[in-house]
Chains A and B, each alone.
Chain A
Amino acid sequence: MNTLWLLTKKNLRLLIRAKGSALIVVFAPLLIILILGLSFNNSAKYGLNIGVYSPNFNEDATSFIGKLQEAEFKIVKYNQSTSCIEDVKLGFLHTCISLPDSFKIEGNTQKEITFYIDPSKINLVWMIQQTIEQKMNLKSQEVSQNIAQNMIGAMSDANSKVSSGKDKLGQIKDRSSSAVSSTDAAKSNLAKIDLALSYPQYDTSITTTFGTHLKEKLNSSNSKIIAARTALNNANISGAERNTINGLLTQAGTDITAASTSLTSGNNSYTAIVNLVADLNHDLISAQEKLTNASVQISASTKDLEAVKSSPNEGVKALDEVKSTLDQVNSNLNAQKITDAKVVSSPFVTKIEKVAPENTYLNYMFPALIILVIMFSSLLLGTTLVMMERNSPAFTRNYFLPIKKITFILSTYITTLILILIQVVIILLISLIFITDIWTTLIPLTIILFFAASVFTFLGMILGYVFSSEETAILASISLGSLLLFVSGVILPLESVSPVLRDITSFNPFVLCEKLVREVVIFNSSVSSLWVDLGLVFCYALILFLIILIIESFMHQHLVNKIFHHHHKQREADKLEKKEV
């Protein structure tokens, strides 16, 4: 156990004393974690570049854009959807949103909003989609709320109008009830009219009697008339006239006598008739009273009936009003053109359009994978070859060779390129199984991969020159590669880091090269359209090469140190030997 501890202690001591190794072994992972931690220590989605195409940037579109801007999205407006889509392909935009003419929902048809996304950004596409859809849902919710609000308003209005109609119907009901009661009252009043007349048995014999009496009277009159005749006979008148007058007198005398008798005799007399008339008069008075009463009752009933008559009129009027209200309610409800629950709940439908052809994940991942392979291979090969040369026993001798420094650098560079070329050829051949159309992009792809390999080889070579131990240099290469990978957006989306840091990481050679390969392989872009990024990568390669030349010029000092270091070690060994002797 003690030995184990001693050995461990020795290892740690050696590690710490080799400053470069200690720095890289201990601090490189910490530094990477620190950088990544600081970079990605948030849940924000900063700086998503969003292109918005709208036929007319009306109020709704502006409001929607405003909502996106609130979320720190960078909005670029487009008047043509093709330009917007093209910029997604070129990687300037994360997504392009094609908005409808208007956000107003006027029927049972959902408005379509199209998102154009780059599916090759596998780790980002879902985040973009979710984020934008979230914002879209807010807008959709807002519109949905408006629709629901309108519907609720119409319903509320209908409710108030129906309430009002209900009141009126109540009134109609009250009036009808009142009419019923009035009718009952009239009926009662009419029932109260006593139309029953006492009807006594008048003595019809009176009339017979009265006739007889009159007959007797007439007979008497007749006798008198006879007497008149006698008198007449005595009168000096012609016989004929006498006879006529006698005859008439005889007749009149007879009738008058009889009538006089009837008028004066008892029950069958005129008195009786008077009595009878009196009785009739009495009965008539009674009937008159009753009719007066009936008249009053009828008058009262007339009033009631008048009242009853007015109630249906008001009822009709009220019913007209209710009808009108209901018509209005009906009209309002008919005015609500959105009746589909789907439209009400989701007025907007989002459509995702991919700007790249539909491919497998391997196709999308291919640019990152090939650059990843090239990056690590170039870094490690560059570092290893430089370290091999530096640590080679022949290094000192090389100094005395009549060879220019640049020749050594270029030989390392070309060696790396040859090895990378072999790797790339193998990868491309394997890729052909899955990505059959890669041949079409072979020339631009080769150019990009050449530049990428150059940049990473030079970076690896610089590390090889900077560090003194091979292990440390390789570890530094791996660390650098990991760092470049982590801040490339391949693993963690760069959109999660702050805009400033993102601007810096956009100059990450891995990001640039991966973008170039993606443009060429996925979007079939021409080299001429990528000249800016390609030029930047070329500049990187050139600058790194110049740095190597500068470092190489300092290497002479390193060689001196190395030689003196050897001598120092030798002296130490000699001293130790002497002590032992």
Chain B
Amino acid sequence: MEFIQLKGVGKSFNNVKVLQGVNVVIEEGDVFGIIGQSGSGKTTLLNMVSGFLEPSEGEVVYFSRVDHTPKNLNKNFSKIKKHIGFTPQHTSFYPKLTVHENLIHFGKMYCLDAKTLETNAQSLLEFTGLKGQENKLAEHLSGGMKKRLDISCSLMHKPKLLILDEPTADLDPITQEEIIDLIRDVNKQGVTVVIASHHLDSLERICNKLAIVHQGKVRGYGQMETVLQPYMKDNFTFNIRVGKDKDRLVNLIRRLPDTKIVDQGHQLAIISKNPELAMVALMRIIKQENLYLHDLDLHKPSLREVLTKIAQQEQ
């Protein structure tokens, strides 16, 4: 069921179009990822979805969960924003308040009653792993904890839509994983999530839908597989580690059609437009030449690679 729809949305700043022709539908329960290079318009798109920015052209439509009637998000923002939880890239709470005080403060801003406030706060402390930290000043929390608190603050009023801008930025890999898991858990509780991030691997893990933004345009949009599909064929990579027979193998593989080989030192990367044929041919060569194969890794194109590919295509 549609939740938010962007219809031909465009945005200009000082007569410079930073975003144009965006048609995207975010459905209830989605974990919607927005990816793109820096300056591609990714954040602009996120801000459009959040209602923070008003589009220069087109409109952002919000579908009421009650009667499913479409409403212009920006025109009805004052009413709709109570259903939105927004977690910006940088910490967005009062550092001089304790964790608990922050949660209660933002909860109160949504006019929650005292009981609900405390219930929600305790529930979120438990849920986000902040239990035990509630009396600490927010500024004394670690980076990961701060992000948890940020997300908690956004969830205090139990929004239907959680928008996260670079939620894993500036975090170590383990904490990134934890935050991603947390977001997934939030989504499991029925909250629609929209994430813009540079950490494509993380997004790849949790997003079911994706929009790839490049140079102000959405270059890919839809289910993750759908988005990746066009880039699958020429982006399968075999990473082969062969011992002393590497040079011989390189010479044999070079004879294969539509195949490129990249010598990466300790391993060879074989890129083929037809991965199935390439695989068969490679196996045959190994068998015929009786080569010793240490490791073979079939690599599906990642979002990063897709993005890189898109960038290269544009160039």
Contact = CB atoms under 8 A, between A and B. Distances in A.
A560 B86 CA distance: 14
A19 B166 CA distance: 30
Interface size class of B (residues with CB under 8 A): 20 to 34
Interface stretch (A483-491, A521-529, A567-575): A567-575
A396 interface: yes
Given A396-B86, A567-B43, A570-B169, A401 B153 contact: no
A571 B38 contact: yes
B52 A560 contact: yes
B89 A392 contact: no
B122 interface: no
Given A400-B86, A401-B110, A571-B39, A394 B81 contact: no
Nearest to B79: A402
B202 interface: no
B84 interface: yes
Interface string A393-421: 11111011111000000000000000000
A563 B110 CA distance: 23
A114 to B, nearest CB: 62
Contacts of A395: 92
Q: Considering residues A392, A400, A560, A566, which has the most beta carbons from chain B within 10 angstroms of its beta carbon?
A: A400
A126 interface: no
A400 B88 CA distance: 11
B91 interface: yes
A566 B89 contact: yes
Interface string B146-180: 00000001100000000000100100000000000
B94 A570 contact: no
B89 A397 contact: no
A434 interface: no
Q: Considering residues B52, B84, B85, which has the most beta carbons from chain A within 10 angstroms of its beta carbon?
A: B52
A401 B53 CA distance: 15
Contact of B81 (A402, A559, A564, A567): A402
Query: What is the interface of chain B mostly: helix, strand, loop, or mixed?
Result: loop
A564 B39 contact: no
B43 A403 contact: no
Nearest to A407: B109
Interface string B72-97: 00000010011011101111111100
B217 to A, nearest CB: 18
Contacts of A559: 52
Interface in A358-403: 392-397, 399-403
A346 to B, nearest CB: 71
B78 A402 contact: yes
Contacts of A394: 92-94
A393 B53 contact: no
A570 B95 contact: no
Interface in B266-290: none
A392 B92 CA distance: 8
Contacts of B215: none
B38 A397 contact: no
B82 A397 contact: no
B38 A574 contact: yes
B192 interface: no
Nearest to A392: B94
A402 B82 contact: yes
B208 interface: no
Contacts of B259: none
Contacts of A571: 38-39
Contacts of B166: 570
A566 B90 contact: yes
A574 B38 CA distance: 9
B81 A400 contact: yes
B3 interface: no
A447 B50 CA distance: 45
A338 B305 CA distance: 116
Contact of A403 (B53, B85, B94, B109): B109
B302 interface: no
B123 interface: no
B43 A397 contact: no
Given A570-B38, A571-B38, A571-B39, A397 B81 contact: no
A401 B94 CA distance: 14
Contacts of A393: 90-95
Given A401-B110, A402-B110, A403-B109, A396 B47 contact: no
Contact of B88 (A396, A403, A575): A396
Interface in B94-110: 94-95, 106, 109-110
Contacts of B106: 397, 401
Nearest to A575: B38
A567 B93 CA distance: 19
Interface in B36-59: 38-39, 43, 47, 50, 52-53
Contacts of A403: 109
B290 to A, nearest CB: 40
Q: Considering residues B85, B92, B153, B166, which has the most beta carbons from chain A within 10 angstroms of its beta carbon?
A: B92
Contact of A400 (B50, B89, B90): B50
A396 B92 contact: yes
B213 to A, nearest CB: 13
A559 B86 CA distance: 14
Interface in A524-563: 559-560, 563
Contacts of B91: 393
Nearest to A396: B88
Nearest to B150: A397
Interface string B185-196: 000000000000
Contacts of A399: 52, 86
Interface of A: 392-397, 399-403, 559-560, 563-564, 566-567, 570-571, 574-575
30 contacts: A392-B94, A393-B90, A393-B92, A396-B88, A396-B92, A397-B88, A397-B93, A397-B106, A397-B153, A397-B154, A399-B52, A399-B86, A400-B50, A400-B81, A400-B85, A400-B86, A401-B81, A401-B106, A402-B78, A402-B109, A402-B111, A560-B53, A563-B43, A563-B47, A564-B43, A566-B89, A567-B38, A570-B38, A574-B38, A574-B198
Q: What 10 pairs between A and B have smallest CB-CB spacing?
A: A571-B38, A397-B92, A401-B109, A402-B82, A393-B91, A400-B86, A396-B88, A396-B92, A394-B94, A393-B92
Given A396-B92, A397-B86, A401-B81, 19 more contacts: A393-B94, A394-B94, A396-B86, A396-B88, A397-B153, A399-B86, A400-B52, A400-B85, A401-B106, A401-B110, A402-B78, A402-B109, A402-B110, A559-B52, A563-B43, A566-B89, A566-B90, A571-B38, A575-B38
